[in-house]
Chain A
Amino acid sequence: MEKISYAFTDGFTIAKRNVIKIKRVPEILVAVLITPLMFVLLFGYVFGSSIDIPGGSYREFLVGGIFAMTLMFGAHFTGAGLANDMQKGIIDRFRSLPMSRSAVVFGKTASDMIYNVLSLIIMVLAGLIVGWRIHNGIGSALLGFGLLLLFAYAISWIMAYVGLLVPSPEVVNNASFMVIFPLTFIANTFVPAGNLATPLRVFAEWNPVSAVTQAARELFGNIPLGTPEPTVWPLQNPVLYTLVWVVLIIAIFAPLAVRRYTRAAAKT
């Protein structure tokens, strides 16, 4: 009982530390806010006006994909932050304290949600500027935002594990790029999955990034009229399929990350 309440209070203490950091290092905040803004404006204007899809606006179609992609890339802050703490010996200091063993990783993933929420708000505003609109009502759109954030939270657990595994923040950046880049591109983020060559198409259809994007588009009402119905289960049930992945990822990577934290020896 004491253990569980410590997990919360210690996690809160760690989260508070990370929030102070967000305030003190405005450079990170600027990066967090500028990148999504650029993504939406650039992709929206450059691709959005050069590709036509019958029955709808490609730009509106694209925005859901950019939301998913940007939030995925944002997860590397979690990994880089933990790798940095490890390198500086701060994780060792925490590990020598009688605090909850799960607090550091839980506090970190929780406080990094602030980045995701801010970046999503910026992207929504930028999206509205480039002509993206919500067509299914605000309630359903909020569900879409919630699902995107939940998915980003799950991905940040993968990155938390990676951050504790590798020797430096730079390696986290490279590793996250290698994983997240293919995952976000071999998906329906930029083009409908049906247009891809067969092996890529199968990957894209079962890729959870496609599902979360599909779910967001449906909830925002951004699927162009006349788009053929998806033929595979994940894209027919994108919300459920996304939730399954969220649960699966957290169930696997949260214990892995905590275990890694308890074993981690400083790499100096």
Chain B
Amino acid sequence: MKLSTESLTRSAGTDIIEAHGLVKKYGDVIALNGLDLTVPEGTILGLLGPNGAGKTTAVNILTTLLEPDSGTAIVAGADVAASPGEVRKRIGLSGQYAAVDEHLTGFENLDMIGRLYHLGKKRSMARARELLERFDLADAGDRPAKTYSGGMRRRLDLAGALVAEPPVLFLDEPTAGLDPRSRTELWAMIRDLVKRGSTLLLTTQYMEEADQLADDIVVIDHGREIAHGTADELKTMVGGERIEVSLHSEASMEDAQRVLARFSMDGLYVEGRSVTAPISGGAQTLTEALRALDFEGVKLRDVGLRRPTLDDVFLSLTGHMAEQGSKETSGSEQSETMEEAR
């Protein structure tokens, strides 16, 4: 489901990653079911999907760790099946689970990787120090990695992917298990990488992460693409922002619905004592709606401007939203439902 041609026109440069019809089966489980991916040079593609969607399988195929049952993939000009050795020279991988050697120090880990990229002794050591500095690990660099926190390990693993300054990077759920601060820090580091000219494919389960980082997002489920577009395009698709208010008493339910219906783009969603209205205009609309509610004397217990989550994208894309749609009705019908509920 291509939302627009914007992402295509943007790819006027060369495509650094080009995969067609990737299929991978594990017995009865179809991990990938005909996945296509293209990533233009110097951009970030976010591969978004829930547990078991096939993200890691796709990364493993593109990084030569796994052979697909069918389909082709060209990474940085080399064919994954025909010349995996060439691909490996041009990529860096940071897998889903930080693969650092616990008994080696941070420095030793990076130095070893440099040597295995055949950078030579001098350059490997220099790169190791440089990256420790850049990833804020200089002080811990000479301690065994088993003394590192989860966030430090993640950063060390990411640094490992950068040792040879490869033009293409694969990051499989780079911020899984990080606290919000480490996550934001890592995002900044990832943005910085692309500024330096890298092309990046990153997988994530978080809409927000894809939103923050990716130029282009492919949403997958059951090994298939179910949506493709920029973060804004995907959000528009699931209805954009919404106001969610919850009330102190049911007495003002009708007033609240009447007011919010004026701001709503598409009906209301009522559940218990809360009303949700899809809107446009963000905080400005929220302010106006609150003023109007206050004017009508509606007392609020809680109010929020809710942005679509991955759940929303999923619900809408897999069609489950349609079932809920029956609840999404106009004010008058809504009160009937309310009465039934009582």
Give me the interface of A with B, judged by CB distance under 8 Å. Answer: 6, 9-10, 13, 16-17, 20-21, 24-25, 88-90, 92-99, 103, 265-266, 268
A25 and B91 alpha carbons, distance in the complex (Å):
32
- Does B65 contact A92, Cβ atoms closer than 8 Å? yes
Which residues in B have their C-beta under 8 angstroms from that of A95?
A: 64-65
Flag whether B195 is at the interface (Cβ < 8 A).
no
A-B contact pairs, 27 of them (CB 8 A): A9-B115, A9-B118, A10-B116, A13-B112, A16-B112, A21-B104, A88-B99, A88-B102, A89-B95, A89-B97, A89-B99, A90-B99, A93-B95, A93-B113, A95-B64, A95-B65, A96-B65, A96-B88, A96-B91, A98-B85, A98-B88, A99-B116, A99-B117, A265-B65, A265-B66, A266-B65, A266-B95
**A92 in contact with B99 given A20-B108, A98-B88 (CB within 8 Å):** yes
Flag whether B93 is at the interface (Cβ < 8 A).
yes
Flag whether B267 is at the interface (Cβ < 8 A).
no
Within 8 A of A (CB), among B90-124: 91, 93, 95-104, 108, 112-113, 115-118
**A20 in contact with B99 given A98-B117, A98-B118 (CB within 8 Å):** no
A76 and B95 alpha carbons, distance in the complex (Å):
28
- Does A268 contact B97, Cβ atoms closer than 8 Å? yes
| B257 → A minimal CB distance (Å) | 49
Size bracket, chain B contacts: 20 to 34
**A17 in contact with B91 given A24-B103, A90-B101 (CB within 8 Å):** no
- Does A13 contact B116, Cβ atoms closer than 8 Å? yes
Interface of B is mostly: loop
Give me the interface of B with A, judged by CB distance under 8 Å. Answer: 60, 63-66, 85, 88-89, 91, 93, 95-104, 108, 112-113, 115-118, 144, 160
**A96 in contact with B103 given A17-B112, A20-B108 (CB within 8 Å):** no
Q: Which of A20, A94, A97 has the most CB of B within 10 A?
A: A97
Which residues in B have their C-beta under 8 angstroms from that of A9?
A: 115, 118
Q: CB within 8 A of B104: which of A6, A17, A93, A103?
A: A17
A133 and B68 alpha carbons, distance in the complex (Å):
60
| A61 → B minimal CB distance (Å) | 40
A96 and B102 alpha carbons, distance in the complex (Å):
19
Q: CB within 8 A of B117: which of A20, A97, A103?
A: A97
**A17 in contact with B97 given A98-B89, A98-B117 (CB within 8 Å):** no
- Does B63 contact A96, Cβ atoms closer than 8 Å? yes
A98 and B166 alpha carbons, distance in the complex (Å):
11
Which residues in A have their C-beta under 8 angstroms from that of B112?
A: 13, 16-17
Which residues in A have their C-beta under 8 angstroms from that of B88?
A: 96-98
Q: Which 8 A-B pairs have the closest CB atoms?
A: A89-B99, A93-B99, A98-B88, A99-B116, A96-B93, A98-B89, A24-B103, A21-B103
